[in-house]
A and B are shown apart, each in its own frame.
Chain A
Amino acid sequence: MRIAYYPGCVAQESGKELDMATRYVARAFGIELVEFPSFSCCGSGFIDEANEALNIAINARNLAIAEKAGLDILTICSTCQGMLTLANLRMQDPSMRARVDGALKPLGIEYRGTVKVKHLLRVLTEDVGLAAVKAKVRRPLAGMKVGAFYGCHLLRPGDEMAWEDGEEPHAFEDLLAAIGATPVDYRGRVMCCGFPIQFVKPETASRVGGRQILDAKAHGADAMATPCPLCHISLDAYQNKASKAVQAPLDMPIFHLPQLVGLAIGASPEDMGLARHLVPTQPALAKVSAPAR
Protein backbone atom coordinates (compact mmCIF):
# COMPACT_ATOMS: atom_id res chain seq x y z
CA MET A 1 0.00 0.00 0.00
CA ARG A 2 1.04 3.63 -0.57
CA ILE A 3 0.30 6.12 2.17
CA ALA A 4 1.34 9.66 3.08
CA TYR A 5 3.80 9.43 5.97
CA TYR A 6 3.15 11.98 8.73
CA PRO A 7 6.00 11.40 11.19
CA GLY A 8 5.22 14.38 13.46
CA CYS A 9 7.78 16.63 15.12
CA VAL A 10 9.16 14.37 17.84
CA ALA A 11 9.96 11.40 15.60
CA GLN A 12 11.99 13.70 13.38
CA GLU A 13 14.07 15.03 16.27
CA SER A 14 14.44 13.64 19.79
CA GLY A 15 12.35 10.56 18.99
CA LYS A 16 14.26 9.66 15.82
CA GLU A 17 14.44 6.00 16.84
CA LEU A 18 10.67 5.82 16.30
CA ASP A 19 11.10 7.05 12.74
CA MET A 20 13.91 4.51 12.14
CA ALA A 21 11.78 1.64 13.43
CA THR A 22 8.72 2.77 11.44
CA ARG A 23 10.68 2.82 8.18
CA TYR A 24 12.09 -0.64 8.89
CA VAL A 25 8.66 -2.11 9.63
CA ALA A 26 7.00 -0.35 6.67
CA ARG A 27 9.64 -1.72 4.29
CA ALA A 28 9.17 -5.23 5.64
CA PHE A 29 5.40 -5.16 5.14
CA GLY A 30 5.40 -3.44 1.76
CA ILE A 31 3.98 -0.14 3.01
CA GLU A 32 5.31 2.60 0.75
CA LEU A 33 5.77 5.74 2.85
CA VAL A 34 5.29 8.81 0.67
CA GLU A 35 6.99 11.80 2.25
CA PHE A 36 5.84 15.39 2.15
CA PRO A 37 8.40 17.97 3.31
CA SER A 38 5.54 20.48 3.40
CA PHE A 39 3.68 18.83 6.33
CA SER A 40 3.57 21.11 9.39
CA CYS A 41 3.29 20.24 13.07
CA CYS A 42 -0.21 19.15 14.20
CA GLY A 43 -0.22 21.60 17.11
CA SER A 44 0.03 18.80 19.64
CA GLY A 45 -3.25 19.76 21.34
CA PHE A 46 -1.68 22.97 22.66
CA ILE A 47 -2.60 25.18 19.70
CA ASP A 48 -6.11 23.73 20.02
CA GLU A 49 -6.24 25.13 23.56
CA ALA A 50 -5.15 28.58 22.40
CA ASN A 51 -7.13 28.87 19.17
CA GLU A 52 -9.36 26.10 17.86
CA ALA A 53 -9.95 27.51 14.38
CA LEU A 54 -6.24 28.07 13.82
CA ASN A 55 -5.52 24.51 14.90
CA ILE A 56 -8.13 23.12 12.52
CA ALA A 57 -6.79 25.27 9.68
CA ILE A 58 -3.15 24.18 9.94
CA ASN A 59 -4.28 20.55 10.05
CA ALA A 60 -6.70 21.05 7.16
CA ARG A 61 -3.67 22.27 5.22
CA ASN A 62 -1.86 19.00 6.08
CA LEU A 63 -4.90 16.98 5.08
CA ALA A 64 -5.20 18.92 1.82
CA ILE A 65 -1.58 18.07 0.94
CA ALA A 66 -2.34 14.35 1.19
CA GLU A 67 -5.68 14.76 -0.57
CA LYS A 68 -4.04 16.43 -3.54
CA ALA A 69 -1.77 13.39 -3.89
CA GLY A 70 -4.76 11.05 -3.54
CA LEU A 71 -3.37 9.43 -0.40
CA ASP A 72 -4.52 8.62 3.11
CA ILE A 73 -2.26 9.59 6.02
CA LEU A 74 -0.22 7.31 8.27
CA THR A 75 0.58 8.67 11.73
CA ILE A 76 2.95 7.26 14.35
CA CYS A 77 1.87 9.47 17.24
CA SER A 78 -1.35 9.30 19.24
CA THR A 79 -1.54 13.08 19.46
CA CYS A 80 -0.98 13.66 15.73
CA GLN A 81 -3.64 11.00 15.12
CA GLY A 82 -6.03 12.83 17.43
CA MET A 83 -5.43 16.31 16.03
CA LEU A 84 -5.69 15.32 12.35
CA THR A 85 -8.82 13.27 13.03
CA LEU A 86 -10.32 16.18 14.94
CA ALA A 87 -9.63 18.54 12.01
CA ASN A 88 -11.38 16.08 9.68
CA LEU A 89 -14.43 16.07 11.97
CA ARG A 90 -14.62 19.77 12.80
CA MET A 91 -14.39 20.65 9.10
CA GLN A 92 -17.83 19.05 8.75
CA ASP A 93 -19.28 21.88 10.84
CA PRO A 94 -20.41 24.56 8.37
CA SER A 95 -19.40 27.59 10.44
CA MET A 96 -15.96 26.16 11.27
CA ARG A 97 -15.54 25.17 7.65
CA ALA A 98 -16.35 28.70 6.52
CA ARG A 99 -13.73 30.20 8.87
CA VAL A 100 -11.06 27.73 7.85
CA ASP A 101 -11.83 28.04 4.15
CA GLY A 102 -11.58 31.79 4.54
CA ALA A 103 -7.94 31.33 5.54
CA LEU A 104 -7.06 28.52 3.13
CA LYS A 105 -8.81 29.48 -0.12
CA PRO A 106 -6.76 32.67 -0.70
CA LEU A 107 -3.70 30.38 -0.61
CA GLY A 108 -5.22 28.13 -3.26
CA ILE A 109 -5.75 25.37 -0.70
CA GLU A 110 -9.00 23.46 -0.54
CA TYR A 111 -9.71 20.44 1.61
CA ARG A 112 -12.68 18.38 0.45
CA GLY A 113 -12.65 15.97 3.38
CA THR A 114 -11.68 12.71 1.68
CA VAL A 115 -8.51 11.74 3.58
CA LYS A 116 -8.51 8.94 6.16
CA VAL A 117 -6.02 9.31 8.98
CA LYS A 118 -4.67 6.02 10.27
CA HIS A 119 -2.19 5.26 12.98
CA LEU A 120 0.46 2.61 12.34
CA LEU A 121 -1.22 0.37 14.93
CA ARG A 122 -4.38 0.38 12.87
CA VAL A 123 -2.57 -0.15 9.58
CA LEU A 124 -0.67 -3.14 11.01
CA THR A 125 -3.72 -4.75 12.59
CA GLU A 126 -6.28 -3.96 9.85
CA ASP A 127 -4.57 -3.33 6.50
CA VAL A 128 -1.52 -5.57 6.85
CA GLY A 129 -3.43 -7.91 9.15
CA LEU A 130 -2.33 -9.98 12.11
CA ALA A 131 -1.84 -13.13 10.03
CA ALA A 132 0.63 -11.34 7.74
CA VAL A 133 2.43 -9.89 10.76
CA LYS A 134 2.67 -13.34 12.32
CA ALA A 135 3.99 -14.83 9.09
CA LYS A 136 6.94 -12.41 9.09
CA VAL A 137 8.02 -13.10 12.68
CA ARG A 138 11.51 -14.60 12.84
CA ARG A 139 12.31 -14.04 16.47
CA PRO A 140 9.09 -14.26 18.50
CA LEU A 141 9.23 -12.20 21.67
CA ALA A 142 8.10 -15.21 23.71
CA GLY A 143 8.80 -14.78 27.38
CA MET A 144 8.55 -10.98 27.31
CA LYS A 145 5.54 -9.64 29.19
CA VAL A 146 4.55 -6.30 27.72
CA GLY A 147 2.11 -3.70 28.97
CA ALA A 148 0.56 -1.91 26.00
CA PHE A 149 0.18 1.80 26.72
CA TYR A 150 -2.21 3.33 24.20
CA GLY A 151 -1.98 7.08 24.68
CA CYS A 152 -5.23 9.00 25.07
CA HIS A 153 -5.68 10.62 21.69
CA LEU A 154 -5.47 7.42 19.70
CA LEU A 155 -8.64 6.28 21.46
CA ARG A 156 -10.67 9.19 22.76
CA PRO A 157 -13.16 10.69 22.50
CA GLY A 158 -14.18 7.22 21.35
CA ASP A 159 -17.13 8.41 19.28
CA GLU A 160 -14.88 10.86 17.41
CA MET A 161 -11.81 8.66 16.94
CA ALA A 162 -14.34 6.04 15.81
CA TRP A 163 -12.01 3.08 15.78
CA GLU A 164 -11.37 1.18 19.00
CA ASP A 165 -13.34 1.20 22.24
CA GLY A 166 -12.26 4.32 24.14
CA GLU A 167 -11.69 2.45 27.39
CA GLU A 168 -11.40 -1.22 26.46
CA PRO A 169 -9.35 -1.47 23.29
CA HIS A 170 -7.57 -4.63 22.22
CA ALA A 171 -5.72 -3.91 18.93
CA PHE A 172 -2.37 -3.31 20.63
CA GLU A 173 -2.61 -6.48 22.72
CA ASP A 174 -3.58 -8.43 19.58
CA LEU A 175 -0.47 -7.12 17.84
CA LEU A 176 1.77 -7.95 20.81
CA ALA A 177 0.40 -11.49 20.84
CA ALA A 178 1.01 -11.79 17.09
CA ILE A 179 4.73 -11.06 17.59
CA GLY A 180 4.94 -13.62 20.37
CA ALA A 181 4.97 -11.33 23.40
CA THR A 182 2.60 -11.80 26.32
CA PRO A 183 0.32 -8.77 26.73
CA VAL A 184 -0.27 -7.67 30.31
CA ASP A 185 -3.74 -6.54 31.34
CA TYR A 186 -3.66 -3.49 33.61
CA ARG A 187 -5.89 -0.49 34.18
CA GLY A 188 -3.13 2.01 33.32
CA ARG A 189 -2.98 0.90 29.70
CA VAL A 190 -5.71 3.38 28.72
CA MET A 191 -4.73 6.08 31.20
CA CYS A 192 -2.74 9.26 30.63
CA CYS A 193 1.08 9.47 30.61
CA GLY A 194 1.02 12.96 32.16
CA PHE A 195 2.73 14.67 29.22
CA PRO A 196 0.22 17.49 28.60
CA ILE A 197 0.89 19.04 32.01
CA GLN A 198 4.64 18.36 32.15
CA PHE A 199 5.02 22.11 31.59
CA VAL A 200 2.21 23.12 33.93
CA LYS A 201 2.91 21.15 37.09
CA PRO A 202 5.79 18.69 36.63
CA GLU A 203 5.26 16.90 39.98
CA THR A 204 1.67 16.04 39.09
CA ALA A 205 2.59 15.06 35.54
CA SER A 206 5.29 12.72 36.85
CA ARG A 207 2.92 11.22 39.40
CA VAL A 208 0.38 10.48 36.63
CA GLY A 209 3.04 8.77 34.49
CA GLY A 210 4.63 6.99 37.43
CA ARG A 211 1.30 5.48 38.50
CA GLN A 212 0.82 3.81 35.13
CA ILE A 213 4.34 2.34 35.17
CA LEU A 214 3.82 1.08 38.72
CA ASP A 215 0.52 -0.47 37.65
CA ALA A 216 2.13 -2.26 34.68
CA LYS A 217 4.90 -3.45 36.98
CA ALA A 218 2.45 -4.73 39.60
CA HIS A 219 0.82 -6.80 36.86
CA GLY A 220 4.11 -8.40 35.91
CA ALA A 221 5.21 -6.35 32.89
CA ASP A 222 8.87 -6.66 31.86
CA ALA A 223 8.41 -3.69 29.54
CA MET A 224 5.83 -1.25 28.26
CA ALA A 225 5.20 -0.25 24.65
CA THR A 226 3.58 2.87 23.32
CA PRO A 227 2.27 4.08 19.95
CA CYS A 228 3.01 7.70 20.93
CA PRO A 229 6.38 9.47 21.15
CA LEU A 230 4.98 11.94 23.69
CA CYS A 231 4.03 9.07 25.99
CA HIS A 232 7.54 7.77 25.33
CA ILE A 233 9.07 11.04 26.55
CA SER A 234 6.96 10.92 29.72
CA LEU A 235 7.56 7.26 30.47
CA ASP A 236 11.18 6.90 29.31
CA ALA A 237 13.00 10.25 29.27
CA TYR A 238 11.21 11.46 32.41
CA GLN A 239 11.05 8.08 34.18
CA ASN A 240 13.61 9.26 36.75
CA LYS A 241 11.17 12.02 37.76
CA ALA A 242 8.20 9.64 37.70
CA SER A 243 10.11 7.32 40.01
CA LYS A 244 10.70 10.16 42.46
CA ALA A 245 7.07 11.27 42.26
CA VAL A 246 5.68 7.83 43.14
CA GLN A 247 8.55 7.14 45.53
CA ALA A 248 9.38 3.74 44.08
CA PRO A 249 12.05 2.35 41.78
CA LEU A 250 10.57 1.80 38.32
CA ASP A 251 13.32 0.57 35.94
CA MET A 252 10.74 -0.09 33.24
CA PRO A 253 12.01 -0.35 29.65
CA ILE A 254 9.69 1.57 27.31
CA PHE A 255 9.52 0.56 23.65
CA HIS A 256 8.00 2.36 20.72
CA LEU A 257 5.41 0.08 19.08
CA PRO A 258 7.33 -0.46 15.79
CA GLN A 259 10.55 -1.25 17.68
CA LEU A 260 9.01 -4.41 19.12
CA VAL A 261 7.56 -5.39 15.75
CA GLY A 262 10.95 -4.73 14.15
CA LEU A 263 12.83 -6.82 16.71
CA ALA A 264 10.38 -9.70 16.18
CA ILE A 265 10.81 -9.68 12.40
CA GLY A 266 14.59 -9.69 12.59
CA ALA A 267 15.85 -6.16 13.23
CA SER A 268 18.84 -5.64 15.51
CA PRO A 269 18.71 -3.41 18.60
CA GLU A 270 20.93 -0.98 16.63
CA ASP A 271 18.45 -0.88 13.74
CA MET A 272 15.77 0.07 16.26
CA GLY A 273 17.87 2.77 17.94
CA LEU A 274 17.49 1.21 21.38
CA ALA A 275 20.70 2.86 22.61
CA ARG A 276 18.86 6.19 22.41
CA HIS A 277 16.51 5.28 25.27
CA LEU A 278 17.17 6.66 28.73
CA VAL A 279 15.99 3.52 30.48
CA PRO A 280 18.03 0.49 29.29
CA THR A 281 15.96 -1.99 27.30
CA GLN A 282 18.36 -4.94 27.71
CA PRO A 283 16.65 -6.46 30.79
CA ALA A 284 13.42 -6.84 28.79
CA LEU A 285 15.19 -8.25 25.74
CA ALA A 286 16.89 -10.79 28.00
CA LYS A 287 13.46 -12.22 28.85
CA VAL A 288 12.96 -13.42 25.29
CA SER A 289 13.30 -17.16 25.51
CA ALA A 290 12.39 -18.39 22.04
CA PRO A 291 15.18 -19.01 19.55
CA ALA A 292 15.23 -17.18 16.22
CA ARG A 293 13.72 -19.15 13.37
Chain B
Amino acid sequence: MPQWGMAVDLDRCTGCGGCVVACHAENNISTVGDEQAAVGRAKHWLRIERYWEGDFPDVRLKFRPVMCQQCDNAPCEPVCPTYASHHTDDGLNAQVYNRCIGTRYCANACPYNARFFDFFNPSWDKPLQLQLNPDVSLREVGVMEKCTFCVQRIRAAGTQAKAEERDVADGEIQPACVQSCGARALVFGDLENPSSEVSRLSRSPRGSKLLEDTGAQPSVTYLSRLTQV
Protein backbone atom coordinates (compact mmCIF):
# COMPACT_ATOMS: atom_id res chain seq x y z
CA MET B 1 0.00 0.00 0.00
CA PRO B 2 1.53 3.32 -1.01
CA GLN B 3 1.82 6.15 1.50
CA TRP B 4 1.32 9.40 -0.32
CA GLY B 5 3.48 12.35 0.58
CA MET B 6 4.87 15.53 -0.76
CA ALA B 7 8.18 17.35 -0.73
CA VAL B 8 8.29 21.12 -1.06
CA ASP B 9 11.66 22.54 -2.07
CA LEU B 10 11.67 26.07 -0.68
CA ASP B 11 14.88 26.74 -2.61
CA ARG B 12 12.90 26.38 -5.82
CA CYS B 13 9.62 28.02 -4.74
CA THR B 14 9.28 31.60 -5.99
CA GLY B 15 5.90 32.35 -4.40
CA CYS B 16 4.23 32.90 -7.77
CA GLY B 17 0.86 31.51 -6.67
CA GLY B 18 0.27 29.28 -9.70
CA CYS B 19 -0.43 26.37 -7.36
CA VAL B 20 -3.06 28.39 -5.47
CA VAL B 21 -5.22 29.01 -8.53
CA ALA B 22 -4.56 25.53 -9.94
CA CYS B 23 -6.03 24.14 -6.72
CA HIS B 24 -9.15 26.29 -7.04
CA ALA B 25 -9.61 25.18 -10.64
CA GLU B 26 -9.14 21.48 -9.97
CA ASN B 27 -11.13 21.18 -6.77
CA ASN B 28 -14.19 23.33 -7.44
CA ILE B 29 -13.33 25.65 -4.57
CA SER B 30 -15.86 28.44 -4.73
CA THR B 31 -14.80 32.06 -4.41
CA VAL B 32 -16.65 33.78 -1.59
CA GLY B 33 -16.38 37.42 -2.68
CA ASP B 34 -14.97 40.45 -0.92
CA GLU B 35 -17.42 40.77 1.97
CA GLN B 36 -17.05 37.18 3.11
CA ALA B 37 -13.31 37.19 2.48
CA ALA B 38 -13.10 40.20 4.78
CA VAL B 39 -14.54 38.17 7.65
CA GLY B 40 -12.12 35.29 7.08
CA ARG B 41 -14.27 32.96 5.05
CA ALA B 42 -12.11 32.72 1.95
CA LYS B 43 -11.10 29.16 1.17
CA HIS B 44 -7.60 28.37 -0.04
CA TRP B 45 -6.72 24.72 0.40
CA LEU B 46 -3.24 25.76 -0.56
CA ARG B 47 -1.79 29.11 0.44
CA ILE B 48 1.58 30.82 0.19
CA GLU B 49 2.75 31.98 3.59
CA ARG B 50 5.33 34.71 3.87
CA TYR B 51 7.88 35.35 6.57
CA TRP B 52 9.53 38.75 6.75
CA GLU B 53 12.84 38.91 8.55
CA GLY B 54 14.87 41.98 9.46
CA ASP B 55 14.38 45.62 8.67
CA PHE B 56 15.11 47.72 5.63
CA PRO B 57 17.62 47.52 3.97
CA ASP B 58 18.68 44.15 5.46
CA VAL B 59 15.34 42.54 4.90
CA ARG B 60 14.48 39.05 3.75
CA LEU B 61 11.25 37.43 2.73
CA LYS B 62 10.63 33.71 2.55
CA PHE B 63 7.69 31.93 1.00
CA ARG B 64 6.18 28.67 2.11
CA PRO B 65 3.30 26.91 0.36
CA VAL B 66 1.09 25.34 3.04
CA MET B 67 -1.61 22.80 2.37
CA CYS B 68 -3.11 20.01 4.48
CA GLN B 69 -0.05 18.11 5.70
CA GLN B 70 -1.89 14.75 5.57
CA CYS B 71 -0.55 13.90 9.01
CA ASP B 72 0.06 10.30 10.09
CA ASN B 73 -1.03 11.19 13.61
CA ALA B 74 -3.59 13.73 12.55
CA PRO B 75 -5.06 15.91 15.31
CA CYS B 76 -8.14 16.50 13.16
CA GLU B 77 -9.17 12.84 13.07
CA PRO B 78 -9.88 11.73 16.65
CA VAL B 79 -11.94 14.82 17.43
CA CYS B 80 -14.51 14.15 14.76
CA PRO B 81 -17.70 12.75 16.29
CA THR B 82 -18.97 11.36 12.99
CA TYR B 83 -15.77 9.93 11.53
CA ALA B 84 -16.07 12.36 8.64
CA SER B 85 -12.41 13.08 9.15
CA HIS B 86 -10.60 9.77 8.99
CA HIS B 87 -7.40 8.12 7.85
CA THR B 88 -7.16 6.09 4.67
CA ASP B 89 -4.94 3.09 4.15
CA ASP B 90 -2.77 5.01 1.76
CA GLY B 91 -2.03 7.73 4.28
CA LEU B 92 -4.51 10.44 3.42
CA ASN B 93 -6.61 12.42 5.88
CA ALA B 94 -9.88 11.94 4.11
CA GLN B 95 -12.91 14.09 4.66
CA VAL B 96 -16.26 12.46 3.99
CA TYR B 97 -18.53 15.39 3.22
CA ASN B 98 -21.71 13.38 3.61
CA ARG B 99 -20.79 12.47 7.18
CA CYS B 100 -19.70 15.94 8.20
CA ILE B 101 -22.13 17.72 10.47
CA GLY B 102 -20.07 20.87 10.80
CA THR B 103 -18.90 20.76 14.39
CA ARG B 104 -15.64 22.33 13.19
CA TYR B 105 -13.73 20.48 15.91
CA CYS B 106 -11.25 19.35 13.26
CA ALA B 107 -10.47 22.90 12.19
CA ASN B 108 -9.84 23.84 15.79
CA ALA B 109 -7.52 20.88 16.21
CA CYS B 110 -5.54 21.42 13.00
CA PRO B 111 -2.24 23.15 13.79
CA TYR B 112 -1.86 24.28 10.18
CA ASN B 113 -5.13 26.12 9.65
CA ALA B 114 -5.57 23.92 6.62
CA ARG B 115 -9.31 23.32 7.01
CA PHE B 116 -12.03 25.57 5.69
CA PHE B 117 -15.67 25.67 6.60
CA ASP B 118 -18.43 26.20 4.09
CA PHE B 119 -20.58 28.97 5.41
CA PHE B 120 -22.78 28.88 2.28
CA ASN B 121 -23.86 26.67 -0.50
CA PRO B 122 -21.46 27.25 -3.34
CA SER B 123 -22.70 29.23 -6.30
CA TRP B 124 -21.29 30.28 -9.63
CA ASP B 125 -22.54 33.08 -11.82
CA LYS B 126 -23.63 31.36 -15.03
CA PRO B 127 -21.91 30.11 -17.13
CA LEU B 128 -18.93 29.88 -14.77
CA GLN B 129 -20.34 26.55 -13.59
CA LEU B 130 -19.01 25.09 -16.84
CA GLN B 131 -15.51 25.26 -15.39
CA LEU B 132 -16.43 22.76 -12.67
CA ASN B 133 -14.53 19.51 -12.49
CA PRO B 134 -17.05 16.66 -12.61
CA ASP B 135 -14.60 14.42 -10.70
CA VAL B 136 -14.82 16.52 -7.53
CA SER B 137 -17.98 16.80 -5.47
CA LEU B 138 -19.31 20.21 -4.49
CA ARG B 139 -19.40 20.93 -0.78
CA GLU B 140 -22.65 22.21 0.62
CA VAL B 141 -23.22 24.57 3.48
CA GLY B 142 -22.11 23.35 6.88
CA VAL B 143 -19.30 21.02 5.95
CA MET B 144 -15.58 21.23 6.33
CA GLU B 145 -13.28 20.99 3.33
CA LYS B 146 -9.55 20.85 2.77
CA CYS B 147 -6.74 19.71 0.54
CA THR B 148 -7.14 16.08 -0.52
CA PHE B 149 -3.82 15.71 -2.36
CA CYS B 150 -6.19 15.66 -5.36
CA VAL B 151 -7.54 12.26 -4.33
CA GLN B 152 -9.58 12.09 -7.53
CA ARG B 153 -6.35 11.97 -9.51
CA ILE B 154 -4.85 9.41 -7.14
CA ARG B 155 -7.88 7.14 -7.48
CA ALA B 156 -8.07 7.55 -11.26
CA ALA B 157 -4.41 6.62 -11.67
CA GLY B 158 -4.83 3.68 -9.30
CA THR B 159 -7.82 2.37 -11.24
CA GLN B 160 -6.01 2.77 -14.52
CA ALA B 161 -2.92 0.98 -13.22
CA LYS B 162 -5.02 -1.84 -11.78
CA ALA B 163 -6.79 -2.29 -15.10
CA GLU B 164 -3.42 -2.56 -16.77
CA GLU B 165 -2.20 -4.91 -14.03
CA ARG B 166 0.74 -2.80 -12.95
CA ASP B 167 1.75 -0.48 -10.15
CA VAL B 168 1.34 3.25 -10.33
CA ALA B 169 4.61 4.66 -11.66
CA ASP B 170 6.52 7.29 -9.75
CA GLY B 171 5.51 10.70 -11.08
CA GLU B 172 2.37 9.34 -12.73
CA ILE B 173 0.17 11.14 -10.21
CA GLN B 174 0.47 14.89 -10.04
CA PRO B 175 -1.90 16.88 -7.88
CA ALA B 176 -2.95 20.10 -9.61
CA CYS B 177 -0.50 22.22 -7.61
CA VAL B 178 2.42 20.00 -8.50
CA GLN B 179 1.47 19.97 -12.14
CA SER B 180 1.27 23.76 -12.41
CA CYS B 181 4.57 24.52 -10.67
CA GLY B 182 7.05 25.84 -13.22
CA ALA B 183 9.98 25.83 -10.82
CA ARG B 184 9.23 22.20 -9.81
CA ALA B 185 9.17 23.13 -6.14
CA LEU B 186 6.49 20.53 -5.39
CA VAL B 187 7.02 16.80 -5.75
CA PHE B 188 4.36 14.20 -5.00
CA GLY B 189 4.66 10.46 -4.69
CA ASP B 190 4.81 7.31 -2.62
CA LEU B 191 6.87 7.58 0.56
CA GLU B 192 6.86 3.79 0.94
CA ASN B 193 8.82 3.44 -2.26
CA PRO B 194 12.41 4.26 -1.27
CA SER B 195 13.42 5.05 -4.82
CA SER B 196 10.62 7.52 -5.54
CA GLU B 197 11.66 11.12 -5.97
CA VAL B 198 9.55 12.25 -3.06
CA SER B 199 11.25 9.67 -0.80
CA ARG B 200 14.66 10.78 -1.96
CA LEU B 201 13.82 14.44 -1.31
CA SER B 202 12.19 13.67 2.04
CA ARG B 203 15.47 12.15 3.22
CA SER B 204 17.37 15.31 2.30
CA PRO B 205 19.41 16.90 5.08
CA ARG B 206 17.61 20.11 4.14
CA GLY B 207 14.29 18.54 5.03
CA SER B 208 12.07 19.26 8.01
CA LYS B 209 8.41 19.03 8.92
CA LEU B 210 6.20 21.98 9.69
CA LEU B 211 5.42 22.37 13.43
CA GLU B 212 6.99 18.98 14.01
CA ASP B 213 6.81 19.29 17.78
CA THR B 214 3.04 18.98 17.76
CA GLY B 215 3.60 15.29 17.08
CA ALA B 216 1.24 15.27 14.13
CA GLN B 217 3.76 13.50 11.88
CA PRO B 218 3.01 15.34 8.64
CA SER B 219 3.50 13.68 5.25
CA VAL B 220 4.83 16.90 3.76
CA THR B 221 8.55 17.58 3.99
CA TYR B 222 9.88 21.09 3.49
CA LEU B 223 13.39 21.42 2.07
CA SER B 224 14.88 24.58 3.44
CA ARG B 225 15.89 27.48 1.29
CA LEU B 226 19.65 27.86 1.21
CA THR B 227 21.44 31.08 1.83
CA GLN B 228 24.52 32.15 0.01
CA VAL B 229 26.58 35.05 1.20
Are A and B part of the same complex?
Answer: no
Chain B interface (Cβ within 8 Å of chain A)?
none
Chain A interface (Cβ within 8 Å of chain B)?
none
